[in-house]
Each structure stands twice: as structure tokens, then as C-alpha cells.
Amino acid sequence: MPKKNNDKNHKVTYKNSGVSIERADKLINKIKPLAKNTCDNNVIGNIGGFGALYDISKLKYKNPVLVSGTDGVGTKLKIALKMKKLDWIGIDLVAMCVNDIISQGAKPLFFLDYYSTSKLDINKSYDVIKGIAKGCKMSQASLIGGETAEMPKVYNKDDFDIAGFSVGIIDKKDLLPKKNISNNDCIIGIKSSGFHSNGYSLLNNMLDKKKLKLNEIVGNKSLGSQLIKPTKIYTDILKIQSFKKIKAIANITGGGLTENIPRVLPGNKCAEIDFNKINMEKLFSHIQKKGNIDNEEMLKVFNCGIGMVLIVNKKDSEKIIHELKKIKLISFLIGKIINKTEKKSVVYLNI
């Protein structure tokens, strides 16, 4: 006689499919205090609702415009896992979103995250979200919600990805960039904290090919500790006395100086950048030398030490640099605005 098929009697559950609701609940309960500590008085309710609520009715804006941004941290995750520094990658996630909002002149209000993995590791995910909460405190944004997803067979074992979403606010008349960008306006570069979260596919490729090693020493520090350094959060720019004199802000993210400065320029204007004034730090020149990367590729892939660019009237430039120094943001002149005379939107001198 044929054997009985026991599969009929085997119960199918979410858990034996690889997803644990219990683990997700434990994580939510663990991170609630972290999120609560970031929330201002405009947050309504707690984490756990179907939608996150933020009351803008008491904010003093005549014609409020909401500015939103979303991003991830890309392949920097691979180095974060190798260095076992997952909280820093959470700070990166917030920075990548809020820095875009700041570039429009807006104040960040709140942040949400998305964490997806093959199997939820509560300790690892807690470290990431702890970093997200810290990034929110640094940017003065409320962490008001998020989503965690277990997706077995979509991710390999121990793999995960994170994404963020943030919303800011600004009066419509104050939106950046302004329309009065003109010839001889100065371009101010604000120092980055390192590579931020861009160009890591190139860096990982160099690591895979043994052209770089995480434990090698560059300028008295290991390369790994410098590559995992979080993206600088630039919210304090909004507080400087001369902020309303800034004509445009460009977040130097994916695409480097070459691709990001033109995003804030009128079609008939061009940025003239003096490569010598950028004065790349040893970390960047070390990568350039090890990879035999030409200057144009460096400027297109990496921020080369410039995390944000401001465009200001020449007469305001020294005062703004001084005000940035007072809030511990190191900045310097790197170029000027000229008429566009060729196809390129950024012209480099001394490259």
C-alpha cells in the first residue's frame, strides 16, 4: 500500500515560512524609548499606529511648503558590517535625507525609516535604529515611525538594507535656490566628514581587489575607521545670522561636485572651481593614488572633502564663512559663478 502523505497534516505558519511577528514586536518595544526621546511637542501619538502623525498647525509659517527627501546608504553597509559599527550607519541614513531638505532651505521636521532583512536580528537592528535616533537628535527631527520587514529568500543570510524618508518645512518665499544667482557670486565649500555615503561601490571594488585594506593606517588612523565615519549633518547652517543671504545650497552627494552644483544653477550660469583651493585631505589623495583615479573621476564620484556648497554674493562671503566657523563648520572659497560658455556646467581650474 502507498504511504500516507503527511504533508496534508502539516500546519503552514508564518513562522516556519521564515517570518517571526514575535521578533518584530520585541524590536518595536525595545526602540520605542529611543523614538520618544527624539519627538517634539508636535508629534501626535506613539509608534505603532497605522500612520505617523505630526501637527504643523502651530508652526509659524505664512505660506508653508513641505519639502521631502528619501535615500539609503548604499554599499557603505558592507563596510559597516565588516567594521561592526551599525549605529553609525543609522546616522548616515538620517544625514542623507535631511541634508537634501536643508539644500532647499527647509527645516527638517520628522523622519521615518525602513529596515528589511532575511531574518531579523534584534541586536543588529536595534544598533541601526539607535543610530537613526541619534541622527534625528542631531538634526532636530522627530523619529515618528518606520517599518521592519523580514523577507527570507529575498536577502541572503545576515544581509539587510535600510532606507529613510524625511519631511521639512519652509515659507514659500524663502525656498532655495533663489533666482538672483549672478556672475562673480562666490562658491563656498563646507568641509565634509569624509566620504559621507557616496562612491562606496568603487571603494568596495578596491577592497575586493586588495588595492585597499581596512586595517591599513592612513594619517594615524585605520582606513576602515575613516570609511565608516558618519555623514556630516548640516542642520546648523539654518541657524546662522546671514542664512537668508544664501542664494543656493548644493548637497555634494552622489555625482560629486560635477553633478550636484549644476542642480542649483540657472541654465545660463556655470560654476568655476579652483581644484587647488579644494586641497584634498590625505584620505582622498590616498584613495586616488591607490586606485590610479584621475582628477575628473574623483570629482564626479566623491565629495573630495566638500560636503556642502553655498552660493552667496561676494560681499557676504567672508561674513558667512565667519558665522559658519562659529558653529564649528569649516568652510572656504572654492570658486565663483560665471556665464556658461560651453557645454559643461562646472569648469575646473588647475585640474
How far is residue 187's CA from residue 50's CA, in Å, rounded to a whole number? 44
Residue 308 DSSP code: E
199 occurs within a structural domain? yes
Domain stops at, among 174, 200, 216: 174
Q: How far is CA 207 from CA 78, 180, 305, 319, in A?
A: 11, 45, 21, 42
Domain stops at, among 153, 174, 195: 174
**Over residues 236-257, mean pLDDT:** 96
198 and 125 part of one domain: no
225 occurs within a structural domain? yes
**Over residues 218-243, mean pLDDT:** 95
Classify 189 as helix, strand or coil.
strand
Q: Give me the pLDDT at residue 13, please.
A: 62
Q: Would you tell me the crossing angle of helices 122-139 and 86-102 to the nearest 10 degrees?
A: 30
pLDDT band, residue 21 (cuts 50/70/90): confident
234 and 90 part of one domain: no
1 occurs within a structural domain? no
Burial of 227 (0-12, 13-18, 19+ CB in 10 A): buried
State the residue range of the domain holding 326: 186-349
pLDDT digits (tens, 9 = 90+) for 140-157: 999 999 988 888 888 888
Q: Give me the pLDDT at residue 14, please.
A: 60
218 and 307 part of one domain: yes
Q: Which residue has the cell 535656490?
A: 177
126 and 207 part of one domain: no
How far is residue 243's CA from residue 312's CA, in Å, rounded to a whole number? 10
Q: Which residue has the cell 504643523?
A: 56
pLDDT digits (tens, 9 = 90+) for 54-80: 999 999 999 999 999 999 999 999 999
CB 224 within 8 A of CB 217: no
190 and 130 part of one domain: no
CATH of the domain at 330: 3.90.650.10
105 and 146 part of one domain: yes
Is residue 8 pLDDT above 60, yes or no?
no
How many other β-carbons are positioned within 10 Å of the β-carbon of residue 301? 22
Q: Give me the pLDDT at residue 27, please.
A: 81
Percent of the chain topping pLDDT 70: 94
Percent of the chain topping pLDDT 90: 75
pLDDT digits (tens, 9 = 90+) for 260-286: 999 999 999 999 999 999 988 899 999
Q: Give me the pLDDT at residue 224, please.
A: 96
158 and 268 part of one domain: no
pLDDT digits (tens, 9 = 90+) for 116-136: 998 888 899 999 999 999 999
**Over residues 154-166, mean pLDDT:** 90
How many other β-carbons are positioned within 10 Å of the β-carbon of residue 95? 29
pLDDT mean across residues, the chain: 91
The CA R_g of the chain, rounded to the nearest whole Å, is 23
204 and 344 part of one domain: yes
304 and 166 part of one domain: no
pLDDT band, residue 30 (cuts 50/70/90): confident
10 occurs within a structural domain? no
**Over residues 237-248, mean pLDDT:** 97
Number of compact structural domains in the chain: 2
119 and 141 part of one domain: yes
CATH of the domain at 99: 3.30.1330.10
pLDDT digits (tens, 9 = 90+) for 285-309: 999 999 999 999 999 999 999 999 9
119 and 263 part of one domain: no
132 and 240 part of one domain: no
260 occurs within a structural domain? yes
Q: Give me the pLDDT at residue 200, please.
A: 96
Q: Give me the pLDDT at residue 2, please.
A: 55
Q: Give me the pLDDT at residue 6, please.
A: 55
Residue partners of 50: CB distance under 8 A and separation at least 6: none
